[in-house]
Every structure is written in structure tokens, then in C-alpha cells.
Structure 1
Amino acid sequence: MKAMRAALDVLVLIPLLLSCDNTFVDNRGKQEQSQAPLLPKGIEFSVELIGLANLDNDSGGGIDFENPITEAEDELVRWELTPDQLSLIETDHLLELKLESTDPSIRVWKNGTLILGKGSKPSHSIKYDEIGGIDVEFGEFNTKEVISISHLNANGESIGKGSLTLRSAPLILNHHLQPSEHVYALETEGNEALIEAYKSVLKTKFTPLSGTRYQDDVWVQDEIEFATSIDPSGKRQDIIVDSIRDRGLAPLAKDISTKQTVVRTWGLPSTATTFDSFGNLEASPPVTVDGVNYPFGRIYYGANDNPSESLSELLAEALSAQVVQKPFAIDTSWLCVGHVDEFSTFVPDTNSPKGFKLLISDINEAYKLLEAMSADTMLPQYARDFGYENVEAILDDQALRTLNENLQENILDQIVGTFKKELGLDDTDIIKVPSLFEDELCGDGAHGALIPGMVNLVVADDEEGATNLFIPDPFIRAELTDQASDPFIKDLTEKLPSDLDLHFVDDWTVYHMGMGEIHCGTNVKRTPMQNSGVPRT
């Protein structure tokens, strides 16, 4: 029995002979390669973090991103490995972090020490006993950076990898469908009617600004633009874009901001033109254009063919870089002041499929109304300041008619076409507002409003939540105190949505005769939409 078992053992061993290169060779000449030992499993992940640009002044020492972090910071975004990932890292392992960008707009901190990004090196290694969370800080709106993470074993071999995609929320300009929170206008001699209208209707939601403090610079809309940035959790960051016009209202942005408000300027005051004032910078309500959704609307501004006489290139580039409100330009070189709010605006319309109406200046509507009036209707305001004693005087001014008809055909109709194309609108989305312009008010062949521009209005909510429109009074009537007799007021009232509360306000002396209107002299802070707006591109 023992001899038989030994013989069987020999038979089992004969087919497998160990070769000199550690392969097994069977009796049929086939080889089986031995498997190399497997490396321990490493971390594998891809994570996206979204935060707010740290451009406020929490520390009180200036722009936070330009200073060391403090305990007051509230825009840092924290990242940590999960417990499962930590369990894969042994005591002799390293994590190597490397920024892909050569000019990063982020800073990465670990336990209060800068380890990556702006002002630091492009890579950093973390030992096992140093592993913990890192804090990411963004230095720009709508920026994107990527950190590659390699998991190295004791021999320096990569056994795992990870990727952190870091994005900051964009800066978003407000539009007129957003609820208003507060309204500002400068109080000065001659604009009592507007100030009283705001106080009466808006009450605590209105603040009159000191004419003395701001050197009677009434053009509050031109000085600043309110904006916001929102992270995915809904955290809100208030932003004030401060213009480069730098007149009497120059201190306003700082005066009405807090340490948590981002105040930002693009461009140099030495290069400022009228196009850099923010009556020339607006945003439409949300639209869908050729299948592309713009949930925050689109930015539009006035421009000139001459780059030196358009919106600051630095600001235009910054707005374009936000992506989500894709800006477009409209020619406003035909106007003395050159601002888009002189001929266009948007108002809410709950009965409209799009939720709004575009108001646009229209010459034909004005002449239609004037021709329907009694020719001898006296016009005291126009007689005093423009030499038109009555309606007949306006209708008989052939040069005025030719000018305005040319503006309608060659300018305003083209502008309507631009709005339709860029915002996906049709005729049902547009309200034509009767308007007339006068020639060479500024002496360079450009034009200004003859009739107070009713499109140059303010949309604001009162304490009860009702939406109010504050509209320049056109004064196309004999009895100045009798607004009910004004056909221009009647016409616009009938065209506007019935659920809006309308207030036609005398802005003639300070604003209209200063080549502006109510919107030019007012600024409105609004509640942002609760969406980060981070573009998925």
C-alpha cells in the first residue's frame, strides 16, 4: 500500500517542472506566468466644491483674499476625506496635492497655513499624521480650478488618485422681476415730488440720500449697480459694482455697505465715459433664446463703435466671464447721455407667458396721440422750456417730425429687432411707449428726450408686497395738476398690466431738464434668486 501511494505521488509531480525563470512548465510545453503581488488599494474619487468669492472685508483689514485668513472668514469651503478613504491610507503613505493652473485664483489653507494657490507653491505633500481637512478660498467670481491628488505608498508609487474641481459662484446682476428690498434717491432742491412719492408709498423701504453729503449728484443709478452671488446652500453674498464715474456720489458704495458686502470696481476713472454710468447697464428677466435657457436673464448695455467710448473693456470682460447672463450691446451713440434706460425697460406681467413686458420708446405712438388731441391744447411745461406753446406747435415742427421719424426707422426699429433676437421676444411681449426726442441737446448731433421718457421708470415693491411703478409725468396737458386729462398717461395706463400700481411723478426740473428721468436718479436693491448659477460647462 505504501509503495502504491509513493508511486501516485511521483505521477502527480511529473507534469509540473519548475523552470529557471520561475514559470511552471507542464508536460505539454505550456507555461503559466505567476501573478505579481497586487499593490494595496488606494483612494479613488472625483469631487466638485462650489463656494463664494472671498472678496468682502470680514477681517476689517481690506479685501479678505488679499490678506491672511482670520476666524471671521465665512466664505471658506472645507474638504475632508471620508472615513472609508482615510482607512486606505497607511502611516507611511503620502498625499500629493497639485494645482493644474499656473495662475490660480484660489488659495488653499491647512490649519491656518497657506499650502497651495495664489502666493504659494503649485504642489504640496501631506504626511499621514498631517492628514485632515483643507480650506479653499476663491479670489474671483465664476472661477474654476482643479487640484489633482495622488496617493503614494512608502516607495513613492502612486496607488490611488483623486480630483477636486473647485468653482466659485458667478456675480449676477438683478432684474425687475426680483422683489425689491430697498430704494435710494438723493434729496435735493427741486425733486420734492419724487422724494415724497417714495416716502408715501415705500415708507421704511426708502432711504433719501443727503444732497450735502453727495454734492447734489442726483444720478444714483449711474454710480452703483447692485448684484449678488449665491452658493448651492442658498447662502447670499451682496455685491455692489462701483462705477468709475467718480463724481459726488463716489462714497456711496462704501457708505451703504457692510463688512460682508463685496464692493468691486472694474476700470480706471481716468478712462471713464458716459457709457460707464450704470443707467447704461441693465439685465432682462429670465428668457429662453433658441433653446438656451437664461434663468437670470441677460445683461445688456449701450455701446459705441469706438471702443474708447463704450462700457469699460475691463467691466465688459468681467460680465462676460460670468457666462450665465451672456451680455449683448446696443448702439446708444445717438443719444446725448447714451444710456439704455432712456428708451427701454422691463416690467412684471403675471398674465404674460414670459412673466414680463418690454417697454420701448416709440415715435409713432406719440404722434398718433398728439394728432388725436385738440391742436390748441396748451402745453405750459413745453412752452416754458422748449418753446412749444401748444400741441399744434409740436405737430407743425416739420424738422422735429423728420428727426423723430428717422430715429424710429433707423434706430428704434433696429433696437426692437435686437431685443427680439437676443431675448427671444415677439410683438406680444412688447409695449410701445409714446416718446419724442429733440435734436442736438448736447451740441454734438446726439439727442435727448423732449417728452419725459416714461420708459425711464422704477419698479419697486411696497411694505405690503404690491408692485409699484414710478413713472415720469409726461405733462401733455393744459392743466398741470389734472393727470386724468393727459392722453399719454391714459394710453400707458391702459397698456400696462392692471395689477401694477402706477404713480406718475413730476421729475421735470431736476431730472428731465438734466437729461435724465426717475430711473436715472434712483437705485434699487433686490432679493436674489435662490440658485448658485454655476454654469455646467
Structure 2
Amino acid sequence: MVAKQRVIRVSTEQPNYAVCVLGIEVSIDIYGSIPKGSTSFDVRGTAGVGVYVVYNPEVVTALKGPSKWPLDVGVEVRVTMKSPSKVVNDNKVRVSYYGPTGQTPIASAWLYITCMAMSLDADTGRTGMVESKATNKTKWTWGPNGEGAILLVNCDRDGPSSGNMDNAYPYVRSHADLQDLSLVVLNTEGPADVFESHTLLLHISMFDATRVRVFQEGGNASLSSYEHILGSDKLSHTVGCKGGKERHAFYVEGLAFPDADFKGLVYLNATLLERASQNSPATPVFTETVVFRVAPWLMTSSTMKPLEIFVCSIKKGHNTNEKFLEAIKALAEKAGCKLTVCPEMENRGDRWIQDEMEFGYVEAPHKTFPVVFDSPRNRGLVEFPFKKILGPDFGYVTREPKNGRISSLDSFGNLDLSPPVKVKGKEYPLGRILIGSSFPGSGNRKMAKIVRDFLYAQKVQSPVELYSDWLTVGHVDEFLSFVPAPDRKGFRLLLASPLACLKLFKEKQKEGYGNAALFEGLGKVGKITLDELLEDRLLRSDSKYVQSCIDWNRSILKRELGLSERDIIDIPQLFTLEDATATALFPDMVNMVVLGKHLGIPKPFGPIIHGQCCLEANVRSLLEPLGLSCTFIDDFFSYHVLSGEIHCGTNVCRAPFSFHWWNIIP
């Protein structure tokens, strides 16, 4: 039986009138006006009313007569309606009170009931379709058996190509814009005369007013017929009801992502109000609420299918990248991936496109689209995400510190995502966000709080903070990367390793190649032989320190991602310390771009042995058995000498996860 919704009082002095909602149980207060001398009662209803008497069988052992109930033992009367009324007051309930003899009623109380059908419906079953008359609309639950509607932040631009995101405007900008909104249907049925004394109100709280906007569907297909009824300073809207069976369609628009001050839940309410008289305030008869969770912004992992790779063109100055662009174009063709080149007039000399933005997406059962997260670094590429990425079915979001203070750690080369993992029985089917931070207790550079808070608030990709402040630039992509693999967990974690590099060089020295040199053929760059490298005490000291920093992260990654040593591959790499922070000595090979099985790896210019670079040969031997194709790309003068590599200079938009975020149990 449906839980009790409201109490209606009755009186023996005059009939009472009430409007009830189909499917909602009503308790009738039979004790408020008991006639003097009454000891029992009976209750009867007309055909459209279901009457139930609730009592304690341990107290009520026998009835006085075939249909009379005692009045002194807490017996309760409840009624439900069987169908909507055709006319007002067409259902009746009579309560008759009896004295000790129980023969003739002392008095009777009449209740006239008009039944309304009313249901506020949304896609609470997460099927992509509005579910009629669903239960548990007011509670949003996680997991594959969870219930609750989902709302997208309408942060793309389906309207005119100039201007802001669609949700910056209090009107529907195009028919495509409607697809990003969530449909809600208010179904009503009942006699028109009800609305002479009752009002049906759609409303939101003042707390949700900045996070949601509602449009009412008009009578035709024109955009102007969609009326903005809720949001901002509009907290309530009277729904015009003419009586009979009616369907009122509304479109709900998300305005804000979950964040530090917003858990992501918004509430849409429909309330039937009764006015006792023209001069008295209205009181609620019935309220129905649908709760929505705003879809989080989701990152993608480098192991996921690449759709489009972005790279900047730099033609001016000494560090042009025309040959680099040719190599990236060839790699994109191999991977079957679209290539977009950001011209110099748009990048304004800023080649570090990975640092400027991070591609992700939003998902609801009825719609999914990519969303670019614009970092607060604000250098030459500052306008590119908003002006060139934002567009039809491509959203935009950003977070900027109010004080304007940022560090290198706020660039998104310092933001990564693991592939899906399972850790101590807990599954992370959408991976875990990786953020570079400072060493515990050091109190140095950290990613801005407003950005970190946003990432944590998305909830479903539970962030892990690593130690990256030991690097001069300070980004996690300088010492780690993920590549797909056909076995085990479906991926490998690649970690830069000075010790693995020194071990390789010592082996080559013992084989008699001590005179083989780094940077052979680079002309302007002085060569360094293996003998010279291995005799350099300072380099050995730097390598020991850098390895300890990477090993600290190795422990965190193993613990937080549930990895074993078999899931990790050490990539040979040397770093040198300058002013107590580390920079890659030769092009940093883990700072690669991953396009499916095709890897674009910085060409390290290592010692040439048997006609090939021993560093390249070593990396091939580690990665090619996994079915990966290694393409070494020369980025020495175009990126490496400027303190970055291929990953820093490229950015990839990838296919979304097949796993639906709402099926997670956080």
C-alpha cells in the first residue's frame, strides 16, 4: 500500500470537500468531531473509493456488529481513489457514529472527494525514454540497478556559431539544442472545475535556480514557442490546466557541473495547491518531485580509441616544427585518426597544446557529446578551446582561480587518467584521474584548488595525487604514460627510469662501445660518449635522486591502481638537475602520443650501435611484443630544447567509455 500522503478531517456539522490524487493514500481523521456518546463507527464509500480500516489485531479482538469498529483503540481509516473524476465531488465517503446499542447512528460525517490523476515523469529508468508513473523519483541511486534521472550541462554551442555556450542564454537556440536537454512530462487528468479553487505549480528551490533552467513546450514547432519558465529569478510557474486528460512537456537544462559547493543533485517539483478563499494563501494538497543528477565531466585514457589529434603549426623563429608536423601527419594516417592543425595565427606562438586543454565528454542515456576542459594557464592558446573547439555537440568548461595565481602544475600535461582498474576488490571502470602535486610536507607548487576541487567533485574517476614538483616543468606526463596491451589488465604503465638507462649504458660499455655517443649527428649539440656519461659523478647523483622521486610515485601508483611489477615497464631515461629540479637530458621517451597501437615516441638520439640507436632498440624490444608499433619522431629542436616533448605538443580527442558512469557504485 502507498505510504500516507495527507490527512483529511471530517465533521458531523457539515460536509467536507477534498481533492485527492490518484494512487495516493489519504488518512481520514474520524476522531476530530466525535459526537457525544459515540462508542463505535462504520465507514462506507461509493464505487470509486477504496476504503481500508487499519487496526491492531492484538487490541481489536471482535467487532461490534458486522461492520462497526470501536472508537477508543486507535483504529484508522484510509482511502484511495480508483480512477480520476469526471465531475467534481463524484466520490463520497460517509462515517457513521453509533452509541452503546449500535442500532441507529447518532450522527454522520460526509466527505466529497474529487480525484485528480497527476504524474511528473522523467527518464528515471535511464533507458533514454521518459518512464510513465515511475516510483522512487525523489531518490537518486547509483549502480546497475539504480534509479534517477540525469541532466546534461548544456555547454556546447548548437546555436549561432558566434556567441557563448547554449546555456548562457535563457532561450532555446536551435532544435538541435533541445537534444541536450532532458524531457520531463507532467500528465494530469481531472475535471476542469477543480482549477477554480486549485492551482498546479511547477517549481524549484532558490538553491537550484542557478544550476537548472526549465522550458515549457509550446503549441507548435517554432523555437519561440518554448517558454523559459524556471531558473535564475524564476522559482515557480503556474501550469495552465483546462481539465480532462492533458500532457504538459518541459525541457530541463543543466547549467552547472558538480563542484566543491554543488553535489550535483537538483530537484524539480510539481505541487497542487488549494485556495480556501480568494483572500487566504494557498496550501499544498500534493507534491511530486523528480531528482536529477547532473552528469559529470569525464576524462578519457590514452589507451582509448583516438578520434582526432590536434597539433600546432609553428613556422616563425628558430624552433619551427614543419618536419614534426609531417611526422605527426604520417602517424595519424597510420592510425586512421583525423588530424587538425592549429595555425600560428590562432596559437600565437604557443605550441604546447596538451597543456592548454583536456578532452573529455558528458553522457546521459539520451545523449553523449565531447567537452573540452580549458586549463587556466592562459598563454598563446588561451582563446583556442573556446573559439575553435566549442561548437555543435562539442562542449566547453573551465575553472580559473579568482586570485589569478597559477603555476606550471596548472597546465594539463599535469593531468592524466589511468585505464580502468580494480583495487582491493573495488572497481574503477572509468579509470582514476592522476594529478601531479608537491612532495608531502614540501608545500611547494600544486594544481590550483579550484581545478582540483572540480576534478574531485566529478566523483566517478576518483583522483590520485602524485609527486611531480621535483621536475622543472612539473608535469606527470614527463615520467609516466599508459599504452594498450592484449593481456593482463589490458594496458601497461610506462615509467621513466634513470637506473634502467644507466644499466643499459653500462652493458653497452662492457660490450666495448664506450666511445658510442649521445646526440650523434645533431651538429649544434655536443656529443657525450658512454664513457663520459658513466664517469660523471654528478649525473649518477642526479639519477639516484630522480629515481627515488619516480619510485615514490611508483609505490603510489601500485597501491592506488592495484598494479604489480608485471604491469609496469621501465623506459630508459636520464635527467639532470638544475636549481634543484629535474629536466630530461635527452628527449623524454615516455612523453609520447598514443594512437591505438601506434606510438609516436620522441627520438632520443642515443648511442648508435650496430647501425641503430640502442635506446630505440631497447624500447622496441619492450613494447613491440605487446603488438605496439613504435615510430620515433625528431622533436629535439622543435620541442625538447624548449622543455617539452611530443605529448606536450599534441592533444587527442578520444571515443568515450562504453561503461555508463551511473552504473558505478562510488
TM-score range, shorter chain: 0.7 to 0.9
1:36, distance to aligned residue in structure 2 (A): 6.1
User: 2 CA distance for matches of 1:257 and 1:213?
Assistant: 14
Select 1:330's aligned residue among 460, 466, 486.
466
Structure 1 residues 30 and 297: CA distance shift in structure 2, 3 A: farther
**Matching residue's letter, 2:586:** I
Task: Describe how 1:82-161 pairs up with structure 2 within 5 A.
Answer: 82=187, 85-86=188-189, 91-92=194-195, 93-100=198-205, 102-104=207-209, 105-110=211-216, 111=218, 112-121=226-235, 123-129=236-242, 132-142=248-258, 143-152=264-273, 155=276, 158-161=284-287
Select 2:547's aligned residue among 402, 408, 417.
408
User: 2 CA distance for matches of 1:278 and 1:380?
Assistant: 29
1:180, distance to aligned residue in structure 2 (A): 0.5
User: 2 CA distance for matches of 1:256 and 1:383?
Assistant: 37
Kept in 1, the 8 Å contact 2:171–2:228? The answer is no
User: 1 CA distance for matches of 2:396 and 2:268?
Assistant: 29
* Match in the other structure for 1:524: 652
Structure 1 residues 406 and 127: CA distance shift in structure 2, 3 A: same
* Match in the other structure for 1:500: 628
Kept in 2, the 8 Å contact 1:383–1:390? The answer is no
Q: SS at 1:330's partner residue?
A: strand
Task: Out of 290-299 and 263-272, give the one that drifted further.
Answer: 263-272
User: 2 CA distance for matches of 1:358 and 1:385?
Assistant: 34
Larger helix fraction of residues: 1
Structure 1 residues 179 and 327: CA distance shift in structure 2, 3 A: same
Q: SS at 1:395's partner residue?
A: helix
* Match in the other structure for 2:101: 27
Kept in 1, the 8 Å contact 2:157–2:393? The answer is yes
User: 1 CA distance for matches of 2:571 and 2:444?
Assistant: 32
TM-score, normalised to structure 1, is 0.85
Task: Out of 187-196 and 53-62, give the one that drifted further.
Answer: 187-196
1:323, distance to aligned residue in structure 2 (A): 0.7
**Matching residue's letter, 1:417:** S
Superposed CA deviations along residues 441-466 of structure 1, whole A, max 9, x for unmatched, are xxx321101132111100114xxxxx
1:26, distance to aligned residue in structure 2 (A): 4.2
Matched, 1:437 2:570: no
Kept in 2, the 8 Å contact 1:266–1:312? The answer is no
**Matching residue's letter, 1:202:** A
Kept in 2, the 8 Å contact 1:177–1:348? The answer is yes
Structure 1 residues 337 and 205: CA distance shift in structure 2, 3 A: same
User: 1 CA distance for matches of 2:375 and 2:444?
Assistant: 16
Task: Out of 487-496 and 335-344, give the one that drifted further.
Answer: 487-496
1:284, distance to aligned residue in structure 2 (A): 1.0
Select 2:617's aligned residue among 469, 490, 493.
490
Kept in 2, the 8 Å contact 1:170–1:532? The answer is no
1:62, distance to aligned residue in structure 2 (A): 1.9
* Match in the other structure for 2:166: 64
Q: SS at 2:486's partner residue?
A: coil
Task: Out of 258-267 and 313-322, give the one that drifted further.
Answer: 258-267
Task: Describe how 1:242-261 pairs up with structure 2 within 5 A.
Answer: 242-253=374-385, 254-261=387-394
User: 2 CA distance for matches of 1:368 and 1:536?
Assistant: 44
1:249, distance to aligned residue in structure 2 (A): 2.0
* Match in the other structure for 1:304: 438
Q: SS at 1:345's partner residue?
A: strand
Task: Out of 272-281 and 63-72, give the one that drifted further.
Answer: 63-72
Task: Describe how 1:89-488 pairs up with structure 2 within 5 A.
Answer: 91-92=194-195, 93-100=198-205, 102-104=207-209, 105-110=211-216, 111=218, 112-121=226-235, 123-129=236-242, 132-142=248-258, 143-152=264-273, 155=276, 158-188=284-314, 189-203=319-333, 205-233=338-366, 235-253=367-385, 254-268=387-401, 270-304=404-438, 309-352=445-488, 354-373=489-508, 374-381=513-520, 389-409=528-548, 411-440=549-578, 444-461=579-596, 467-478=597-608, 485-488=612-615
1:190, distance to aligned residue in structure 2 (A): 4.4
Kept in 2, the 8 Å contact 1:345–1:456? The answer is yes
Task: Work out the number of aligned pairs and report it.
Answer: 502
TM-score, normalised to structure 2, is 0.69
Structure 1 residues 115 and 245: CA distance shift in structure 2, 3 A: same
User: 2 CA distance for matches of 1:103 and 1:284?
Assistant: 33
Select 1:514's aligned residue among 636, 642, 645.
642
User: 2 CA distance for matches of 1:377 and 1:180?
Assistant: 38
Structure 1 residues 102 and 486: CA distance shift in structure 2, 3 A: same
Structure 2 stretches lacking a partner, 5+ long: 1-67, 69-94, 120-134, 138-147, 219-225, 259-263, 277-281
Kept in 2, the 8 Å contact 1:453–1:472? The answer is yes
User: 1 CA distance for matches of 2:191 and 2:621?
Assistant: 71
Structure 1 residues 24 and 310: CA distance shift in structure 2, 3 A: same
Kept in 2, the 8 Å contact 1:101–1:146? The answer is no
1:348, distance to aligned residue in structure 2 (A): 0.5
Kept in 1, the 8 Å contact 2:518–2:527? The answer is yes
Q: SS at 1:128's partner residue?
A: coil
User: 1 CA distance for matches of 2:164 and 2:647?
Assistant: 32
Task: Out of 500-509 and 296-305, give the one that drifted further.
Answer: 296-305
Structure 1 residues 152 and 247: CA distance shift in structure 2, 3 A: closer
User: 1 CA distance for matches of 2:307 and 2:295?
Assistant: 22
**Matching residue's letter, 1:137:** E
Q: SS at 2:626's partner residue?
A: coil
User: 1 CA distance for matches of 2:327 and 2:434?
Assistant: 29
Superposed CA deviations along residues 354-409 of structure 1, whole A, max 9, x for unmatched, are 11110011122111100011212233449967755300100000111012112213
Structure 1 residues 88 and 356: CA distance shift in structure 2, 3 A: farther
Tell me: higher relative CO, structure 1 or 2? Use CA pairs within 8 A at least 6 residues apart.
Answer: 1
User: 1 CA distance for matches of 2:632 and 2:227?
Assistant: 59
**Matching residue's letter, 2:503:** K
Larger strand fraction of residues: 2
Q: SS at 2:493's partner residue?
A: strand
* Match in the other structure for 1:3: none
**Matching residue's letter, 2:413:** G
Structure 1 residues 402 and 77: CA distance shift in structure 2, 3 A: same
Q: SS at 1:196's partner residue?
A: helix
Structure 1 residues 385 and 416: CA distance shift in structure 2, 3 A: farther
**Matching residue's letter, 1:495:** L
Kept in 1, the 8 Å contact 2:546–2:582? The answer is no
User: 1 CA distance for matches of 2:621 and 2:268?
Assistant: 58
User: 2 CA distance for matches of 1:134 and 1:380?
Assistant: 65
User: 2 CA distance for matches of 1:491 and 1:39?
Assistant: 84
1:94, distance to aligned residue in structure 2 (A): 2.8
Kept in 1, the 8 Å contact 2:96–2:106? The answer is no
Structure 1 residues 416 and 100: CA distance shift in structure 2, 3 A: same
Kept in 2, the 8 Å contact 1:148–1:164? The answer is yes
Structure 1 residues 103 and 212: CA distance shift in structure 2, 3 A: closer
Structure 1 stretches lacking a partner, 5+ long: 1-15, 462-466
Task: Out of 248-257 and 417-426, give the one that drifted further.
Answer: 248-257
Q: Percent identity?
A: 30
Matched, 1:81 2:192: no
1:330, distance to aligned residue in structure 2 (A): 1.2
Structure 1 residues 134 and 256: CA distance shift in structure 2, 3 A: closer
1:242, distance to aligned residue in structure 2 (A): 1.7
1:71, distance to aligned residue in structure 2 (A): 4.7
1:505, distance to aligned residue in structure 2 (A): 1.4
**Matching residue's letter, 2:365:** P
Kept in 1, the 8 Å contact 2:355–2:648? The answer is yes
**Matching residue's letter, 2:348:** Q
Kept in 2, the 8 Å contact 1:280–1:341? The answer is yes
**Cα RMSD (Å):** 3.1
* Match in the other structure for 2:84: none
